[in-house]
Structure 1
Amino acid sequence: MKEKIIEYIDNNEKWLIDRIIEIVSTNTINTPPTGNENNGQEIIEKIFKNMGLEIDRFSPDDVNGFKDSKVYLKGRDYTNRDNLVGSIGKGEKKTLIFNGHIDTVPSHVFKWTKTEPFDPKLIDGKIYGLGACDMKGGLLSSIFALKTITDLGIPIKGKVIIESVVDEEFGGANGSLACVKKGYTGDFAIIAEPTVMKICASNVSSRAMVIKITGDKGLMYAGTDIEGVNSMLLASKLVCALKDYEEYLNSLKDKYEIYKKIDKPMKFLFSDIKAGEIGPDKIVTTPEECLIRVYMMNYPDVNKDKFTDMMLLFLKNYPDIYKYIKNGSIVFGESYRFIEGGDLDLTLDSNKEFVSSIIKNGKKLANRKLETGAFLGGTDFFAFSNYGNTPVVVFGPGGGNCHAPDEYVNLEDLLDLSMIYAGLIYDYCC
């Protein structure tokens, strides 16, 4: 039967390409607190209907009790932003969930060269376009996998659930958490985020922090003998100290089985810095305030309180910086939510067998030698592992330039991924 899966996908790859072109052409940009996801959900819903799936379309805000739960990220507006869940099967065997977010980051901040964000193109085996890699390609591969099984007439005795969720970008996660809260849990889940075909059985904890540094304004060398604080220079010292903290965290990797084989699992992203104003009518003066935004991470067992406490304890080694933390000149704020980490418990035989099944299907169906690893950024992993009692991995295609111009996804990966997903559906649900 698995030979028929390979044959079907080889003969019908145009369906996958056409659907990805269609969905990438569609604006589903997340613009907190609002978003444009329903544009894409209309397309996905039509596909689900044509496949004969049972469809559940709902707003995260309409899930009973979700808005009052501790994991709900407040301040979002879900008007015309629906989750979409398609399912099929009798539920007599395993339940397998495929999860993907339909929203993308904005495009206007980038200058594209290969094509335009909503004019996807297939060039040399790569599909370029906004959201192609993060993560419309992986989501469509899971749909194509299920379509392969149903079109081949293979009965689904278990249950397959495909979730096209809203509001993952900008630390959202309310979409996936709402699915869990509504009762969509299973024996296993796969998040089709881009992993370069690596099976990620762990996910770091992470947090986007906005750091406000307040100093003194004015010309500190003229007409005064008071030593002032230059917020920009203090910010530069803090950035260097945080880079040292990053190295310290990397030195702890041997405590974690999955992370010890990764060269540098902790890679902070220093995203933005702003101080003062530049212009012909702007005076030269010391900036009173400097803002830094940095995306930081830690190991999956580090909770929100420990995440901050570890950082502050390390910064005590820098008294010329820490004194400004103590007096309130340096304030650490949060941008969106703290994203919890999570692990797949590989001491359990069922979880080991699931990973083994992915590896076996990779070899048999796609002639791929798949490896395990960890996802080194924020995903909705924690929604399943920490709140849904559902073992989960992140496993998706390769590509490049996510959150950057000329984003692309590798077509070969999407096709191989569809085969592997279909093999898993066959093994666990048929």
Structure 2
Amino acid sequence: MNEIKQEIRSWVEANERRILQLVQDLVSYNTVNQVWTGNEKDAQIYLSQVLKDMGLVVDVFTPEEVTGLKEHPGYFPGKDYTDRPNVVAELKGAGGGKSLIFSSHMDTTTAASEWKRNPWDPAIENGKLYGLGTFDMKGGLVASIFAVRCLQELGITLKGNVLIESVVDEEFGGANGTLASRVRGYNPDAAIIPEPTNLSVCPGNHGGAQWRVTFTGNTGMSFSGEVIVNPAHIAAKFIVYLEEYEAQRQNKGGPAPYFVNDHTLPVIVTRLEAGDMNAALCDTGPSECHVDIWVECHAGVTEEELEKEIMDGFRSKYANEYDKWNEPRFNKLIRFLPGTQVDSSFPLIGMLAEITSEVTNQQYGSITGAPFACDSFMFNMYTNTPAIIIGPVGANAHASDEHIDIAEFLKLVEIYALTTLQWCGYHNRGVR
């Protein structure tokens, strides 16, 4: 085994240029999620050919082609999947081993306005690879591809099957792409999700909800003594409360075993709207004010419980005034993303932690909860395939100048290859 470990490391080092080139190729495709539509097709078709050239069995399909998807309890309606194909590729094992899937998404969030370079023109500077989607999560996708390619080119025959998938519509609470692959039948013994964890092993992750909270009142100038209730004032109080609410939550920690020391549950005001934006001038207060918020939660918390907790706290803080106001309305902007946790006894967790620690000389590999929401719940809630999250070292996901650290990224390829080898098992050494 030690000999194989060294061969894998040497192969990864020798193939750095090929590995980084595929990341750059995928980043050069604009695959920004448009919330209700998307444009992942060209990148997915390119990727499918890469996987076919590796000799893998490749399945290309749109979510809407999957029988039973819309009837599934995890399906979220309203999305358009025209020309938005998933790609699933499989390397068949020789038999007798466990199966594994690497599950990534091709879509990205919108490019932030502060980018110092073209987000789709990837650049290498000071040991970092910059570009939209490098960190979240085209880098992790490429790492999984080259982990499999490494084992192929070293002539290693796996016992169990290994799959690589690239789904559409994960950002903005999509998850139907991931669900479609599960409904289509791709449910192996374990899943690794290459979301950006900075090489932490994450068997659990946050959930989250995004709402538009609408405050209503009445407008006018009170020339005749009318009582004016400006909803912008109420919304302002709500925002002040949210800042306090976020701080209070950080003191509590979360559920065992992965979130006991988790003191980061973001509450983010993402947009404010009030008044007639098309009017040349507004000379009176608005009748409505909208506050869009993103609120994260721990595993085991429902959307209804989260909304109630927010509103109970808001009512309590402004108990002397609250009855004078109209009740705020919560309108769902995206699907609720439940937080989930995998049982700590699941053997892939310890295996990943041990391999990551060894490959990185104990610098990485801690077992913790992921501080973000993602579509792992589609595995953990609706299938018998436990999903563990581990991905690249980098920075600025969903922000300008997103990047991965190249040296640590190459170690991720090595980690994925060794994990595939151990989890799936192997028979012999062949000649390619």
State the TM-score, normalizing by the size of structure 1: 0.93
Q: From 346, 359, 363, give the equivalent of 2:353.
A: 359
Match of 1:104 in 2: 108
Match of 1:232 in 2: 232
Identity of aligned residues (%): 33
Deviation, 1:332, is 0.8
Contact 1:362 1:369 in 2 (8 A): yes
SS in 2 for 1:336: coil
Matched residue pairs, number?
A: 419
Alignment of 1:140-289 (within 5 A): 140-220=142-222, 223-253=223-253, 255-262=255-262, 264-277=263-276, 281-289=280-288
SS in 2 for 1:170: helix
Larger displacement relative to structure 2 (299-308 or 65-74): 299-308
Amino acid at match of 2:153: D
**Structure 1: which 4+ aligned runs deviate by more than 4 Å?**
277-280
Contact 2:270 2:292 in 1 (8 A): yes
- Using the alignment, how far apart are the partners of 2:264 and 2:384 within structure 1? 26
Deviation, 1:321, is 6.4
Match of 1:423 in 2: 418
Deviation, 1:278, is 6.6
- Using the alignment, how far apart are the partners of 1:324 and 1:158 within structure 2? 65
SS in 2 for 1:360: helix
Alignment of 1:27-426 (within 5 A): 27-90=30-93, 91-107=95-111, 110-113=113-116, 115-220=117-222, 223-253=223-253, 255-262=255-262, 264-277=263-276, 281-318=280-317, 319=319, 322-323=322-323, 327-328=326-327, 330-346=328-344, 348=345, 351=346, 353-367=347-361, 368-426=363-421
Match of 2:430 in 1: none
- Using the alignment, how far apart are the partners of 2:254 and 2:119 within structure 1? 41
- Using the alignment, how far apart are the partners of 2:140 and 2:298 within structure 1? 25
State the TM-score, normalizing by the size of structure 2: 0.92
Deviation, 1:324, is 6.5
Deviation, 1:187, is 1.8
Deviation, 1:298, is 1.4
Contact 1:238 1:321 in 2 (8 A): no
Contact 1:132 1:408 in 2 (8 A): yes
SS in 2 for 1:20: helix
- Using the alignment, how far apart are the partners of 1:8 and 1:174 within structure 2? 36
- Using the alignment, how far apart are the partners of 1:256 and 1:359 within structure 2? 18
SS in 2 for 1:317: helix
Contact 1:366 1:419 in 2 (8 A): no
Q: Structure 1 residues 370 and 321, CA, compared in 2 at 3 Å: closer, same or farther?
A: farther
Deviation, 1:105, is 1.6
Contact 2:255 2:299 in 1 (8 A): no
Amino acid at match of 1:364: E
SS in 1 for 2:272: strand
Amino acid at match of 1:360: E
Deviation, 1:310, is 2.7
Contact 2:199 2:364 in 1 (8 A): no
Cα deviations across residues 320-353 of structure 1 (Å, max 9, x unaligned)? 565377x44x11111110011100111x3xx1x3
Amino acid at match of 1:339: L
Contact 1:237 1:321 in 2 (8 A): no
- Using the alignment, how far apart are the partners of 1:57 and 1:68 within structure 2? 21
Contact 2:200 2:364 in 1 (8 A): no
Q: Structure 1 residues 7 and 232, CA, compared in 2 at 3 Å: closer, same or farther?
A: same
- Structure 2 gaps of 5+ residues are 427-432
Amino acid at match of 1:333: N
Match of 2:429 in 1: none
Deviation, 1:253, is 1.8
